[in-house]
Amino acid sequence: MQPRILYIWIILFSYGRFAQAQSPQIPIPGTFQQITTTQSYSTQNSNYNSFQTSSNNYPTGASAQNIINQTNRSSMQVMGYTPQPTQEEMKADYYNTLATARQKKTQDFFNELNTFNNSARPVDPKVLEELAKTKKRLRTADTSSVDFINHLKYYNNAYNEIVSMLSGKSSLNLKRAVFVVENAYHKNKLSYEKYCRQIDGLTFICRQIMHENGVNEKNYMACHYAIQKLFSEKVIYKNAEEKTETFEPFGYDFVDVFADNDQTKGFVTKLLNTKIGQCHSMPLLYLIIANELNANAYMALAPNHSYVKFGNQYQQYGFETTNGTFTTDEWIVASGYISPAAIKNKIYLAPLTKDKVIAECLVDLEEGLDFLFGKSSFSIKCANTTLKYFPNSIGAILTINNVINAKCAQTAKEYQFPKEEEYAKFPRLKKQFDELIAFELKVEQTGYLKISKDQYENWQQTANEEKQKREHLKLLSKLKESANGK
């Protein structure tokens, strides 16, 4: 075996067991093992281990021996061993392909590191904006600062309340979980009573819509019909005093859609107060109202995006809250940013039950503290706990990945940003760097694809295409029939 091949084999052995495992079913939570920002972020200490990628997709006509061989390979990987490559893998120059992927990940990191190390102030505003984002993304918190310590108290209280729900000590309450996340950011200055009144008011309007249309709110399809009007059209209804009032629909906030400059842009409380939001806050509010009406609804994820799913035994529906129209998985996949592996591994498109949505709230919680101060052990704690209850959470996996990147960048800064070939002189940096690249490759195995802000905005604009409008009207007609009990 040539030395280069041997070196690559050693590298692959460190993460090969994550390459494939059994197709994910209802996950059984594993033992929580916290890792901290003082550690080297070895993924062996991370609940990322509980994420399972799909492998048992046997080709049509596969022989019994083929199935047995593939099952044995999967078993070896689960037990921590890297099986020999198959003939197909060898034909495809398997090792060289992975070596190329590793090289690309290395180059990506050094490009980002060079940006992080850019001491000259760029003249181009776009370059300056990207520089600021990169530095913020690679920032680690000063955990000894008084301001961080004071904020952390609010965040730990919110964390404990959400974990209490997930562990079964208290009942699952999405409305409350969303509130405590946002309240922690505001240092417990928000009013839960006001928040509940606002949601009660929206629930009342939905009931009035159903009443005035002669449908029963026990019909959950009728509930969805009513909720969707809040996101799609002006509603004229009778208030509690039988006076006519008008509700203008929620709209999309086109400013700072990724909350790069203002974390509250993605808050449900901000949506309730301003009536404009984006693809994070709007689906959450939809689900909260649906829960209040006892109507089953689920969140589904797409790259940098989320939407609502619901249905009955005859028809499944997807609803795009940002433009008040129906959508389909086929249309979202046609965007080109969702890989087959991502669908198989259920990081995208799969309907998320309430417990998983609440687990994702821990990722939102971490992002709030990160926005204020940078990465810390709290980031890892939230990500690990999310993966404990939602092993396929791409948000939690990316959180761990971002922390590893930030820690490695900070260590590189300590050593004045040495070149890669000099990393062997700095064992701590070399170890972090190797783990960073290995983890990046694991993330890639989930099927995750990066999507830029421009790509996302172009994708969102296609929502107004005539083809989707026709599909929307078709599905709306079916929903009306279900709401009327036809």
DSSP 410-431: HHHHHTT---GGGGGG-HHHHH
In single-letter form, the type of residue at position 425 comes to: K
Q: pLDDT category, 39, cuts 50, 70, 90?
A: very low
CA 352 to chain centre: 11
Greater confidence (17 vs 173) lies with 173
The answer to whether residue 451 scores a pLDDT higher than 50 is: yes
Encoded tokens for 341: 């592996």
Q: Where are the domains of the chain?
A: 172-327+456-483
Encoded tokens for 161: 């309340």
Query: Which 3 state secondary structure label does DSSP give 320?
Result: strand
Confirm if 299 and 308 have CB atoms less than 8 A apart: yes
Give pLDDT, residue 117: 72
Residue 285: closest CA among 230, 325, 245? 230
* pLDDT tens string 253-264: 888 878 888 899
Distance CA 478, CA 231 (A): 18
Give pLDDT, residue 78: 47
Cβ-Cβ contacts under 8 Å for 61 (sequence gap 6 or more): none
Q: 84 vs 75, 189, 312, 340, 413, CA distance in Å?
A: 13, 58, 46, 25, 39
Confirm if 55 and 451 have CB atoms less than 8 A apart: no
Q: 35 vs 48, 383, 408, 436, 446, CA distance in Å?
A: 11, 10, 15, 15, 22
Greater confidence (393 vs 254) lies with 393
Residue 299: closest CA among 346, 250, 357, 258? 357
The answer to whether residue 278 scores a pLDDT higher than 80 is: yes
Mean pLDDT of all residues in 201-224: 94
pTM: 0.76
Termini Cα distance of the chain: 69
* pLDDT tens string 121-170: 555 677 677 777 778 888 999 999 999 999 999 999 999 999 999 999 99
The answer to whether residue 32 scores a pLDDT higher than 70 is: no
